[in-house]
Amino acid sequence: MVDMNEFWQTCIHRLEQELPPQQISAWIRPLVPLAFDEAQAVLRVSAPNRFKLDWVRKNFSHQIENLASEWFKRPVQVSFELAASSRPAPVARAAAAVATPTNNVVPQGQAPVQVPAMPSTAVNAATAEAAHDRSRLNTDLTFENFVTGKANQLARAAALQVAENPGVSYNPLFLYGGVGLGKTHLIHAIGNALLANGNGTRVRYVHADQYVSDVVKAYQRKAFDEFKRYYHSLDLLLIDDIQFFAGKNRTQEEFFYAFEAMVAQRKQIIITSDTYPKELANIDSRLISRFDSGLTVAIEPPELEMRVAILLRKAETEGVTMPEEVAFFIAKHLRSNVRELEGALRKVSAYARFHGREVLTVEVCKDALKDLLSVSNGQITVENIQKTVADFYKIKVADMYSKRRPANIALPRQVAMYLAKELTQKSLPEIGDLFGGRDHTTVLHAVRKISDARSKQTELNHALHVLEQTLKG
Ligand SMILES: Nc1ncnc2c1ncn2[C@@H]1O[C@H](COP(=O)(O)OP(=O)(O)OP(=O)(O)O)[C@@H](O)[C@H]1O
């Protein structure tokens, strides 16, 4: 007879050594081991609600399976199920869905609905699920599967801090960085962590574009009061890509009110953007100063080791066996962002599957990524030049495409433009675009100026030499 209690205590104890206490209490402690089926080698574990069940299955089943296999001395499969008491009866789910405010941003003004009496656990489960749906969060984006390195460790630490103390530590938290670097991932992770606490936190993720269109709808329906009530009632608002507010004055005004109301009540606001607050174009200065009043953190492009770690982690999640040298090969050649790495991994594994190649090799990658590799011919991209030059001169990468022109930024930017012309196949207008939509004549001016100065100034020539060597790897 298996002593489930003893097994489970050992399991928790082992997990405590691997996971932070917050995760243990949010995810592991609420689980209840039900039984071990000897014949099938299946361990049945129950979770208190659907949300936790999905989450645990996605994020921790692997670890629990390993521990169970060790304990039972054979490969064990874990089967998660909803705790009997919280399996919602159909009526309970339907009622909870109606009783919670509508999924639309602008409530449609339905009459209040009488909620029939039902077991409170069923209500909790259904409400947790509904709260999750309403939040528009993607449960796949978590802290657990967010790979950390130098480029994002500050941002992650700030995000964790905010998830632990929403509304009090940094408000707003403003995350900025180039495309595909994990800003969206990180803010979903904060939302998911807060929802998981299950204490009824009202969370909402919204892309700035969607917010703009919600303002327009509220305008058309003359439903601003409801719109305001909805946003002002949230505990956590995650707003992505705020640069999309540029020039949208009415939206900015509404957002300003929501911002003031939420911060005054210590409700948390988290904002992402492609650049830092002062650099946002066509955004009201009072909003910019609010954005800057909490904590502003950058996410930088990942360095080589981190790119490798991301590839290995993603490959493992997708069940692809990736030798380290293959990960290094891909990471060395694709340097700009994480989304690009994910695309490469998908391509490589599809290619390998299609061609019946069980083991991923560098050769397979070369074939599978032919197009990508030839595009980044010489493996030097403008993004990489911007990052390398910004690091070298200790300025922000965002300054490369910003409109600001102080001397300490102007020179590095011209150096980067010069290197972009020298080391990539890009045309002058293309380079101008990548430097915040500058005119090709500006690029031409920079190229001429730097190449002239280089021949006269030993120090500059030396700096350029170092940069070229770094970029050519
Ligand atoms: N550190 C990381 N660990 C694991 N996955 C990551 C990491 N950073 C980014 N990703 C993944 O890369 C993809 C792109 O990230 P994300 O959408 O968060 O980027 P973003 O910075 O919001 O970009 P954009 O400005 O284009 O919206 C996502 O699938 C995300 O899960």
Phi, psi (5° rounding) for residue 273? -160, 165
Please write the tens of the pLDDT for every residue from 196-236: 887 788 999 999 999 999 999 998 998 889 999 999 899 99
Handedness of CA 193, 198, 202, 204 (dihedral sign): positive
Q: Indicate whether 247 and 332 sit together in one domain.
A: no
Q: Indicate whether 370 and 386 sit together in one domain.
A: no
Binding-site residues from annotation? 180, 182-184
Select from 139, 153, 174, 181 the residue to mutate for testing ligand 1; criterion: most ligand atoms less than 8 Å from CB: 181
Q: Closest Cα partner for 183 from 338, 341, 23?
A: 338
Q: Is the pTM here over 0.80, yes or no?
A: no
Judge if the beta carbon of residue 33 lies within 6 A of ligand 1.
Answer: no
Q: Indicate whether 187 and 255 sit together in one domain.
A: yes
Q: Indicate whether 160 and 263 sit together in one domain.
A: yes
Handedness of CA 276, 160, 54, 239 (dihedral sign): negative
> Comparing 86 with 428, which gets the higher pLDDT?
428
The yes-or-no verdict on residue 98 having pLDDT over 70 is: no
What's the CA-to-centroid distance between 98 and ligand 1, angstroms? Answer: 34
Q: Residue 334 has which token pair? A: 């694709």
Please write the tens of the pLDDT for every residue from 35-68: 888 888 899 999 877 777 888 888 888 899 999 9
Average pLDDT over residues 419-432: 89
Reported as a pLDDT band with limits 50, 70 and 90, residue 92 is very low
Cα–Cα distance between 10 and 24 in angstroms, integer?
Answer: 13
Judge if the beta carbon of residue 211 lies within 6 A of ligand 1.
Answer: no
Judge if the beta carbon of residue 182 lies within 6 A of ligand 1.
Answer: yes
Cα–Cα distance between 464 and 470 in angstroms, integer?
Answer: 10
What's the CA-to-centroid distance between 356 and ligand 1, angstroms? Answer: 30
Q: Indicate whether 22 and 66 sit together in one domain.
A: yes
Reported as a pLDDT band with limits 50, 70 and 90, residue 266 is very high
Handedness of CA 53, 48, 104, 175 (dihedral sign): negative
Among 30, 62, 84, the domain-final residue is: 84
Cα–Cα distance between 128 and 122 in angstroms, integer?
Answer: 10
Judge if the beta carbon of residue 134 lies within 6 A of ligand 1.
Answer: no
Half-sphere exposure of 194 (CA within 13 A, CB side): 33
Cα–Cα separations (whole angstroms), residue 245 to 80, 149, 284, 288: 43, 31, 10, 12
Residue 249 lies in a domain: yes
The yes-or-no verdict on residue 109 having pLDDT over 50 is: no
169-170-173-174 Cα dihedral, nearest 10 degrees: -150
> Comparing 375 with 6, which gets the higher pLDDT?
6
Tell me the residue range of the domain where 401 lies.
382-472
Select from 176, 238, 311, 338 the residue to mutate for testing ligand 1; criterion: most ligand atoms less than 8 Å from CB: 338
What's the CA-to-centroid distance between 122 and ligand 1, angstroms? Answer: 35
**Contact indicator for 208, 177 with CB cutoff of 8 Å:** no
What's the CA-to-centroid distance between 206 and ligand 1, angstroms? Answer: 16
CATH for 349: 1.10.8.60
458-472 and 407-423 helices, crossing angle to 10° = 50
pLDDT value of position 59: 83
Could you tell me the strand order of the sheet in which 295-298 lies? 203-207, 236-240, 268-273, 173-176, 295-298
Query: 295 forms bridges with which residues in the sheet?
Result: 173
Please write the tens of the pLDDT for every residue from 352-382: 888 888 788 999 999 898 877 755 555 688 9
Q: Whose CA is nearest to atom 31 of ligand 1?
A: 185
* DSSP assignment of 262-326: HHHTT-EEEEEESS-GGG-TT--HHHHHHHTTSEEEE-PPPPHHHHHHHHHHHHHHTT----HHH
Among 282, 298, 314, the domain-final residue is: 298
Among 84, 110, 134, the domain-final residue is: 84
**Contact indicator for 282, 403 with CB cutoff of 8 Å:** no
CATH for 66: 3.30.300.180
How far the first Cα of the chain sits from its last, in Å, is 61
Q: Residue 307 has which token pair? A: 């790119």
Q: Indicate whether 387 and 336 sit together in one domain.
A: no
The yes-or-no verdict on residue 308 having pLDDT over 90 is: yes
Select from 184, 238, 242 the residue to mutate for testing ligand 1; criterion: most ligand atoms less than 8 Å from CB: 184
CB atoms within 10 A of CB 291: 22
The yes-or-no verdict on residue 113 having pLDDT over 70 is: no
Of ligand 1's listed atoms, the one at least distance from the Cα of 156 is 1
Query: 268 forms bridges with which residues in the sheet?
Result: 236
Cα–Cα distance between 4 and 231 in angstroms, integer?
Answer: 46
- Percentage of the chain exceeding pLDDT 90: 46
Residue 95 lies in a domain: no
Residue 94 lies in a domain: no
Q: Residue 352 has which token pair? A: 């390998």
Average pLDDT over residues 381-386: 90
Q: Indicate whether 310 and 359 sit together in one domain.
A: yes
What's the CA-to-centroid distance between 141 and ligand 1, angstroms? Answer: 9
pLDDT value of position 142: 94
Cα–Cα distance between 451 and 458 in angstroms, integer?
Answer: 12
Please write the tens of the pLDDT for every residue from 178-200: 888 999 999 999 999 998 887 78
Q: Indicate whether 174 and 270 sit together in one domain.
A: yes
Residue 121 lies in a domain: no
pLDDT value of position 342: 92
CATH for 420: 1.10.1750.10
Q: Indicate whether 314 and 445 sit together in one domain.
A: no
Of ligand 1's listed atoms, the one at least distance from the Cα of 145 is 4
Cα–Cα distance between 360 and 323 in angstroms, integer?
Answer: 7
Judge if the beta carbon of residue 125 lies within 6 A of ligand 1.
Answer: no
Q: Whose CA is nearest to atom 8 of ligand 1?
A: 182
DSSP-derived pairing of the beta strands 77-82 and 42-47: parallel
How many domains does the structure of the chain reveal? 4
CATH for 212: 3.40.50.300
Q: Which of 86-95, 393-402, 464-473 is predicted with the least confidence, judged by mean pLDDT?
A: 86-95
Residue 184 lies in a domain: yes
Cα–Cα separations (whole angstroms), residue 256 to 234, 260, 263: 15, 6, 11
Query: What's the chain's Rg over C-alpha atoms?
Result: 26
Of ligand 1's listed atoms, the one at least distance from the Cα of 341 is 12
Instruction: Find out whether the peptide bond into 429 is cis, omega within 30 degrees of 0.
Output: no
**Contact indicator for 264, 232 with CB cutoff of 8 Å:** no
E strand or H helix at 37, and its extent?
A: strand 32-37
Judge if the beta carbon of residue 181 lies within 6 A of ligand 1.
Answer: yes
Average pLDDT, the chain: 84
Reported as a pLDDT band with limits 50, 70 and 90, residue 1 is low
Average pLDDT over residues 376-399: 84
Judge if the beta carbon of residue 338 lies within 6 A of ligand 1.
Answer: yes
Average pLDDT over residues 341-354: 90
Q: Indicate whether 325 and 283 sit together in one domain.
A: no
* DSSP assignment of 382-407: HHHHHHHHHHHHT--GGGGS-S---H
Average pLDDT over residues 6-27: 84
Judge if the beta carbon of residue 430 lies within 6 A of ligand 1.
Answer: no
Q: Indicate whether 262 and 324 sit together in one domain.
A: no
Judge if the beta carbon of residue 310 lies within 6 A of ligand 1.
Answer: yes
Please write the tens of the pLDDT for every residue from 116-170: 344 454 455 566 667 777 888 998 899 999 999 999 999 999 999 999 999 988 9
pLDDT value of position 329: 93
Residue 100 lies in a domain: no
E strand or H helix at 227, and its extent?
A: helix 224-232
Residue 157 lies in a domain: yes
Q: Indicate whether 317 and 395 sit together in one domain.
A: no
Q: Whose CA is nearest to atom 4 of ligand 1?
A: 146
Binding-site residues from annotation for ATP? 180, 182-184
Judge if the beta carbon of residue 183 lies within 6 A of ligand 1.
Answer: yes
Q: Whose CA is nearest to atom 5 of ligand 1?
A: 146
Cα–Cα distance between 407 and 409 in angstroms, integer?
Answer: 5
**Contact indicator for 265, 236 with CB cutoff of 8 Å:** no
Judge if the beta carbon of residue 343 lies within 6 A of ligand 1.
Answer: no
Residue 419 lies in a domain: yes
